Amino acid sequence: MSIPVNQEIILEVKNLQTIFKTDTGDVRAVDGVSFKLPKGKTIGIVGESGSGKSITSLSIMRLLASNGKITNGEVLYKGEDLLKLSESQMRKLRGNEISMIFQEPMTSLNPVYTVGQQISEALMLHQNMSKKDAFIRSVELLKLVGIPSPDKRVKNYPFELSGGMRQRVMIAMSLACDPEILIADEPTTALDVTIQAQILELIKELQDRLGMSVIFITHDLGVVAETCDYVAVMYAGQVVEYADIRTLFHEPKLPYTIGLLKSLPRHDIEQDKLQPINGNVPSPHEMPVSCRFSPRCPAATDLCRANMPQLETDENGNQVRCWIYTDEWTGEAEVDIYGEKRIAKSRGAKTILPD
């Protein structure tokens, strides 16, 4: 199911390109990323390490390291291009309307200030609260994210809290100003599994209660399945497949997505062995000019190895960047995808890779 026509889109990223200047030349970390975030929904951005998913989120926030630069594209928030805002206008949005939680709760809080001081900071900055009011609100926020005895914890320093607690503090901090959009950059990666589940549930629950839209960045498809409404799969700096959650898990189109799902352990079917995707993500310095997945793709043809496919949209609004789903892809090929014989037929956008 695609995004309904009447659904309000709160954030739209169009053809985003981000490069990093390095000693060995420019690296295109994000190369033409587009997706839409409907209001109140959750979009997952999935990909391997180095696929550009974190850089995409930092580009939206305009928090790139000093050698990073957004060279192209638009980030439309409520119709306004964030990339055209001045730095001070952007600062008014950060932590206020768009906020972010990071991967590493252990290092993402300032060690020399109490958690109360750190939560209060955003409140005093964006909501002009007095120190006292901000403190009271901080206690409420800590309570909201399920921290026991928040009136005591508010005076704690980060080192006095566990990893899960710190991530809750991060969440409290990011929710301080009732943001419209929450960007969660691998918020559970550094936590152990039981805490992961709690944090995911907390984000979901707060989203329902506060009506936020969430961008969920992760490499964990299990997390995506639990939390997201839509998914953008990224590979080597590009969005390669975009679909609603049902379609992505039940009718994945891209050989890469199929590969990702096959490498995921499942408890509902019997599996002998997990299927890895062979090879590695290409080095950013040696990016293929063709389909970037073609060196690893079991279904790649000469066409795939010579040309870059475009992100094509089907009649349901789902998108895929793959030659197999275009009219140019000819013939009926029997391809071996991860040990299974499949028939890919050249039926343009209707091509089906049977599961």
Partner 1 sequence: MPKYIIRRLIQTIPVLIGVTILVFSLMHLVPGDPAQIVAGEGASEQTVENIRERLGLNEAIPVQYGRFLGNAVQGDLGSSVRSGRPVMDEISSRFWVTVELAFYSTIVAVFLGLIAGIISAVRHYTIADTSIMIVALFGLSMPNFWFGLLLIQWFAIGNWMPESLEFLKMRPSGWGDSWRQIILPVLTLGTGGAAIIARMTRSSMLEVIGQDYIRTARAKGVSERIVTYRHALKNALIPVVTVVGLEFGGFLGGAVLTETIFAINGMGRLTIDAIRTRDFPVVQGTVLVISVIFVLVNLLVDISYRLLNKRIDLN
107 binds partner 1 (CB under 8 A): yes
The C-alpha atoms of residue 138 and residue 149 are separated, in whole angstroms, by 12
Residue 111 is a binding residue for partner 1 (CB under 8 A)? yes
Q: What's the full length of the chain, in residues?
A: 355
Query: Within positions 65 to 104, which residues make up the interface with partner 1, using CB under 8 A?
Result: 66, 88, 91-96, 99-100, 102, 104
Residue 159 or 201: the one with the smaller Cβ distance to partner 1 is: 159
Residue 159 in the binding site for partner 1 (CB under 8 A): yes
Examine residue 179 and tell whether it contacts partner 1 (CB under 8 A). Answer: no
155 binds partner 1 (CB under 8 A): no
Rule CB under 8 A: say whether 189 interacts with partner 1.
no
| Residue 37, SS3 per DSSP | strand
Q: What DSSP line would sit under 120-186, residue for residue?
A: HHHHHHHS---HHHHHHHHHHHHHHTT-SSHHHHTT--GGGS-HHHHHHHHHHHHHTT--SEEEEES
Least separation in angstroms between residue 172's CB and partner 1 is 12
Report whether 183 contacts 217 (CB < 8 A): yes
Region for 79 from its dihedrals, namely left if φ exceeds 0, alpha if ψ lies in -120 to 50, beta otherwise: left
Nearer to partner 1, 169 or 223 (CB): 169
Q: Are the CB atoms for 265 and 271 separated by under 8 Å?
A: yes
Judged by CB, which is closer to partner 1: 13, or 109? 109
Task: Show Cβ contacts of residue 20 under 8 Å, excluding neighbours closer than 6 positions.
Answer: 26, 27, 29, 65, 67, 68, 69
Q: Can you tell me whether residue 304 is helix, strand or coil?
A: helix
Task: Give the one residue of 122, 184, 236, 258 binding partner 1; rule: CB under 8 A.
Answer: 122
Pick 100 or 200: Cβ nearer partner 1: 100
112 scored as a contact of partner 1 (CB under 8 A) = yes
Q: What's the token pair of residue 215?
A: 């961008």
User: Please, which residue, 18 or 294, has the CB nearer to partner 1?
Assistant: 18
Residue 56 interacting with partner 1 (CB under 8 A) = no
Nearer to partner 1, 8 or 140 (CB): 140
For the chain, how far is it from start to end, CA to CA, in angstroms? 19
Q: Is 289 in the site for partner 1 (CB under 8 A)?
A: no
Burial class of 84 by CB neighbour count within 10 A (0 to 12, 13 to 18, 19+): exposed
Q: Which is nearer to partner 1, 72 or 156 (CB)?
A: 156
Q: Cβ of residue 297: shortest distance to partner 1, in angstroms?
A: 35
109 binds partner 1 (CB under 8 A): yes
Where on the chain is the footprint of partner 1 (CB under 8 A)?
A: 61, 63, 66, 88, 91-96, 99-100, 102, 104, 107-112, 121-122, 125-126, 157, 159, 170, 173-174
